[in-house]
Structures are given as structure tokens and as C-alpha cells.
Chains A and B, each alone.
Chain A
């Protein structure tokens, strides 16, 4: 060989450098244009990379699932707690909204009423004992007196039977001791609505000659001056003339759902106050 052995290596490398420079110059003209050899190499190398990466990805997934889950678990607990708090908050807002709707109805009722009235919140319901009563958060300090009628947007609840300074007890119309002067709305037939104690009432002293049918509305007649005239008491669910005697047996469903009361309005009827 003409070239001395000690220069062979340098010459080969210089040739390699020259080849690189040529490739570089050609490449630089097209900048990042993907030439055919690059395309081939990329097409072959990319799947190779995927294959090589697959086990690593598996390990990374195991790592993230089992080890990083420690942090995720903690975050999950925190988010659950936050979710519970938000649920409670939402519930409170919903409660507030519903309360607002109810109070609006009560306010409308108050505005319609010809009597002075005291709004009250129901703070205790006692329907399981012998006396069917509820407690309201208004007492003598608010002008509440024994005998005053208590209503809500559905109809008559009952009347005050006991008062303290800030709390009063209301005897519900469904109680056996409750007697309300009532009338059938259509026929104006008058009687006494008496509680039966089982969540129902009986309309008494309606003559058999009167035509009473299921669905007839029963309202206060205003005869005893305790309950103002025309307030809704309930509706007839059964009228029976077969029983012996002069009067019909009439069963009435109270208009008020006693299990879902929250606010009430005490009517300060002047006649009752005088008594």
C-alpha cells in the first residue's frame, strides 16, 4: 500500500468526516425535510423503540398503580371528604330554598288573612302519644293565647291549647279531643269536625237528608268564633247513611299533611283574645 500504515486510520476517518460533511450540506439544504433514508430508518426504528419500551411501560404502569396509588389514595380520601362537605352545603342550600318557598306561601296566606297573625316554626311533633299535638316556637311573649287557631298554606292545623313565654302547644284537628265547627263547602250543611286519633276526622251531626259525596270539601263554618269562616279543614273520603240514627257517618281526610309541617301561622283572632 502506498499510504503509510500509521496514516491509514487518519485518512479513513478524514474520509468519514468528508462523507458526513456532504450529508450535512445536502441535509442542510432541505433543512428538516425527511429524506428517503431517514424515512426508512424511522420506520424501522420506531417499532423497535415501541418493543423496547413495552416492558418499561408495563413497569411504569405497575409503579404508578401500586406505589403512586399511596398518594392517590390520600387524594381520594381528601376529595371524598370535600365531596361530603359540598353535599352537605348543597343540602343546606336546598333546604334554604325550600324553606324560602314555604315561607313565601305562608306570607301570601298572611297577607290574605283579615286577622293579625304570628308566623311560627314547628319545633316538636307529638303524634304518637294519646294527644296529637305539636309545639311551635312562639308563646305568650309574642301575643299567643290559648284557643287561637293555627293554620298553614294547606289549611287548619289546630288550635293553641297551652302556652309558655316562648313556646306553645297546638292541638291538631286529628286529635280525639279536637272539635271544630265545620261545613260542607257546596251544600253548606253544618256539623262538628272531630278528630278520630288515627290521622283522620269525622264530620258529625250531618243529617241523612243532606247529600254528601266523596271529595266534598270541608271548611270551617265560623260559628264558634274560634276558627275564621271558610278555612279548609279537609275533604270527605267516605259518607255512609246506613248507620242507625238521624246522622250520617262521614269520614274526612285532613287537608294538612301532619307529617310534613315545618312552619305555621297563628291567627290572632280578636274574639278569642277577648275570652
Chain B
């Protein structure tokens, strides 16, 4: 219950933090997308409903803060969540190099999905922005993902939706 009450506020705080603070740390050239790592984390470690809820709300917050069309990030994060879940059922994902690799792949899927969505729905081409900003920030956030995973593990209130990977069917 606490989880469902806390998630909207936490999501808003996280998105605002990564937009304002982490963006400013890199002179607004890079946006360190911690929310992406959290969605990957949710796909690997959280229960279905809680993970989906988190991904959806995080995506909607991202849409609002980044100015994307409503539902863009929500859809992409849901796809990333599904991808991370499917990987977790087949592969052992506890080691750091694999977490980095998985985050990188999920990030690429996210980027390509956003590119396709923007092209299809709004007719805008964001390829240049993706190549110029998205890829460096993806490399950075992937490198940070093992550390971020440890931070997410320590967040007690998220345990409401937490489940160890081996407990999953």
C-alpha cells in the first residue's frame, strides 16, 4: 500500500532530480536517465503489478517533464520493463558487466522506440538529437547502472513490490 502511495511522488522527485540536478552537473548536455535504470531494475526484481505501475508513472512523469507527447515514455518504459523481465527469466543477471550490457541494450531500444514514435505520430526526426546526446548519456548511465542497482536495493519502501529473481516462476 505504501508503495502505491509513494510511487507517484517518488517518480516525480526522481524525474525532477535527474532533470534539474543531474542535468546541471553535466552542463545540461547530458541527462543522466536514472529512471531508465529503475525500470530495468523493476523488470528484473519487482513484482508484476508494482513494476508495471512504476514504469507507467515514471514514463508519464518523463513525458510531462521532457515535453514529449503523452504516453511516449510510458509506452517505451513498458517495453523496456517487458524486455528486462524476459531477460531475467532466462539469464543470470547479478553480475555488473551484464547489468551494464542489459542497461545499454534497453537504452538503445528506448532510443529507437522514441525515434520511431516521434516519426510516426508527430513526423519529427529526432535522430540527430539521439546521436548527439542520447548515445553518450546512455553510455554514462549504463556504466553507472551497477551502482544504481545497489542504491535501489537499499530503498526500504520499495520492498513492498520487491521480489528476488529466483522466486519468480
Interface residues of A (CB under 8 A from B): 4-6, 8-17, 19-28, 31-32, 35, 37-38, 41-42, 44-45, 48-50, 52-53, 56-57, 60
Binds A, one of B63-71, B97-105, B146-154: B63-71
Question: Among the listed A21, A26, A49, which residue makes an inter-chain contact with B20, where contact means beta carbons less than 8 Å apart?
Answer: A49
Q: What is the predominant secondary structure among interface residues of chain B facing chain A?
A: helix
Residues of B83-109 contacting chain A, CB below 8 A: 85
10 sample A-B contacts, Cβ–Cβ < 8 Å, listed by A number: A13-B51, A13-B52, A13-B82, A14-B82, A16-B55, A17-B78, A23-B70, A32-B69, A38-B70, A52-B16
Given the complex of chains A and B, what is the CA–CA distance between A14 and B67 in angstroms? Answer: 25
Residue B168 interfacial (CB < 8 Å)? yes
Complex interface residues of chain B between 7 and 53 (CB less than 8 A to chain A): 12-13, 15-17, 19-21, 24-25, 48-49, 51-53
Number of A-B contacts (CB under 8 A): 118
Is B141 engaged at the interface, CB distance under 8 Å to the other chain? no
Least CB distance, B81 to chain A, in whole angstroms: 6
A37 to B8, CA, bound (A): 12
- Say yes or no: A24 contacts B74, CB within 8 Å: yes
Interface centre among A20, A24, A48, by most chain B C-beta atoms within 10 angstroms, is A20
CA distance A184 to B72 in the complex (A): 103
Inter-chain contacts of B67 with A (CB < 8 A): 32
Within 8 Å of chain A (Cβ to Cβ): is B5? no
Report chain A residues within 8 Å CB of B16.
45, 48-49, 52
Task: Say which residue of A8, A26, A37, A52 sits within 8 Å of B48 (CB atoms).
Answer: A8
In the complex, whether B111 has a CB less than 8 A from a CB of chain A is: no
Chain A residues, Cβ within 8 Å of B56: 16, 19-20
Cβ of B143 under 8 Å from chain A: no
Question: B106: shortest Cβ distance to chain A, in Å?
Answer: 14
Q: Please give, as numbers and ranges, the residues of chain B lying within 8 Å of A41 by CB-CB distance.
A: 12, 60-61, 64-65
Most buried by A among B48, B51, B67: B48
B83 to chain A, nearest CB (A): 10
Q: A13-B85, A48-B13 are in contact. List 8 more A-B contacts (CB 8 A).
A: A6-B169, A16-B78, A17-B75, A28-B69, A45-B61, A48-B12, A48-B16, A57-B24
| CB-defined contacts of B64 to chain A, threshold 8 Å | 37-38, 41-42, 45
How far, in Å, is B91 (CB) from chain A's closest CB?
A: 16
| CB nearest neighbor in B for A55 | B21
Which residue, B19, B65, B71, B82, has most C-beta atoms of chain A within 10 A?
A: B71
Distance between Cα atoms of A48 and B59 in the complex (Å): 18
- Give bound CA distance, A118 to B21, whole Å: 80
Alpha-carbon gap, A25 to B117, bound state (A):
11
A45 touches B12 (CB 8 A): yes
Partner pick for B74 among A6, A14, A20, A42, CB 8 A cutoff: A20
Contacts of A24 in B (CB 8 A): 69-72, 74-75, 117, 121
**A-B pairs with lowest CB-CB distance, top 8:** A24-B71, A27-B70, A23-B71, A20-B75, A12-B48, A16-B52, A6-B169, A9-B48
A residues less than 8 Å from B15 (CB atoms): 45
Contact between chains at A20 and B78 (CB < 8 Å): yes
> Across the interface, which residues of A come within 8 angstroms of B140, CB to CB?
none
Contact of B69 among A15, A16, A27 (CB under 8 A): A27
Is there contact, CB below 8 Å, between A16 and B81?
A: yes
Q: Which residue of A lies closest to B12 (CB)?
A: A45
State whether the Cβ of B166 lies closer than 8 Å to any Cβ in chain A.
no
Across-interface contacts of B74 in A (CB, < 8 A): 16, 19-20, 23-24
Tell me whether B135 is interfacial, beta carbon within 8 Å. Answer: no
In the assembled complex, the CB of B77 is this many whole angstroms from the nearest CB of chain A, namely 8
B85:A23 contact, CB within 8 angstroms: no
Q: Is the CB of A23 within 8 A of B82?
A: no
Which partner residue on chain A sits nearest B25 by CB separation? A56
- Is A45 a contact of B85 with CB atoms below 8 Å? no
**Which chain B positions have C-beta within 8 A of A14?**
82
Closest to A8 in B: B48
